[in-house]
């Protein structure tokens, strides 16, 4: 995973829990990089898992809840750091419909070593989108957090429904509806 994911994850711990907690986790975790991340570097997914597992043990919050909250936090960071990639008139549903054809394509130009999921649109209406998330990293909870973060960013409320539809390759149907 790109370092940008790690730097934001650690920043979330620092700002929403404490700097001490972030330091403690980085010291205790058995990380390939010794806890030093650059935003364009590339690090194993297991390092994210290790950080989230430790954070979960220390806060008593289930790992999936932490990943979901991280997705919400991450959306704002990603969008603010890459405003030029998103059409200024796009709403959340446009953005989701364009993830594969535009957003993540531009991301790959910026970070050629990024490992991105694919999102295939099954159905698109004004205030609803049905799509299939495919990734061997099985991070649909992160995706659903990113979508909720996007909804907050665009000041709307949405329901996100997730259904695993295949395990090899791993595919999850995500249905997003405005409330």
Q: Which residues bind ligand HEM (CB under 6 A)?
A: 1-2, 4-5, 75, 78-79, 82, 85, 95-96, 99, 103-104, 107, 111, 114-117, 135, 137, 139, 142-143, 146-147, 150
- Taking the least distance from each CB to ligand HEM, the nearer of 20 and 165 is 165
Strand locations in 3-154 (E): 118-125, 128-134
- Taking the least distance from each CB to ligand HEM, the nearer of 26 and 79 is 79
- Taking the least distance from each CB to ligand HEM, the nearer of 35 and 117 is 117
Closest distance between ligand HEM and the C-beta of residue 18, in Å? 26
Closest CA to 7 of 28, 33, 132, 24: 33
- Taking the least distance from each CB to ligand HEM, the nearer of 60 and 179 is 179
Closest distance between ligand HEM and the C-beta of residue 38, in Å? 13
3-state secondary structure of 148: helix
- DSSP assigned state of 102: I
Q: Are strands 170-178 and 118-125 parallel, antiparallel or unpaired?
A: unpaired
- Are 119 and 99 in contact by the 8 Å Cβ rule? The answer is yes
């Amino acid at each position: 995973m790109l370092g940008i994911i790690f730097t934001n994850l650690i920043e979330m711990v620092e700002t929403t829990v404490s700097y001490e907690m972030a330091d403690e986790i980085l010291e205790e975790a058995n990380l390939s990089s010794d806890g030093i991340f650059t935003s364009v570097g590339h690090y194993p997914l297991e390092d994210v898992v290790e950080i989230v597992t430790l954070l979960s043990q220390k806060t008593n919050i289930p790992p999936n809840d932490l990943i979901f909250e991280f997705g919400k936090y991450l959306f704002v960071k990603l969008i603010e750091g890459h405003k030029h990639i998103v059409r200024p008139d796009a709403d959340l549903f446009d953005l989701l419909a364009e993830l594969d054809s535009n957003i993540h394509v531009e991301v790959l130009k910026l970070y050629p070593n990024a490992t991105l999921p694919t999102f295939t649109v099954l159905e698109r209406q004004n205030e609803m989108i049905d799509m299939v998330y495919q990734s061997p990293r099985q991070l649909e909870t992160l995706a659903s957090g990113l979508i909720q973060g996007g909804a907050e960013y665009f000041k709307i409320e949405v329901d996100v429904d997730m259904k695993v539809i295949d395990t090899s390759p791993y595919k999850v149907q995500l249905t997003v509806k405005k409330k």
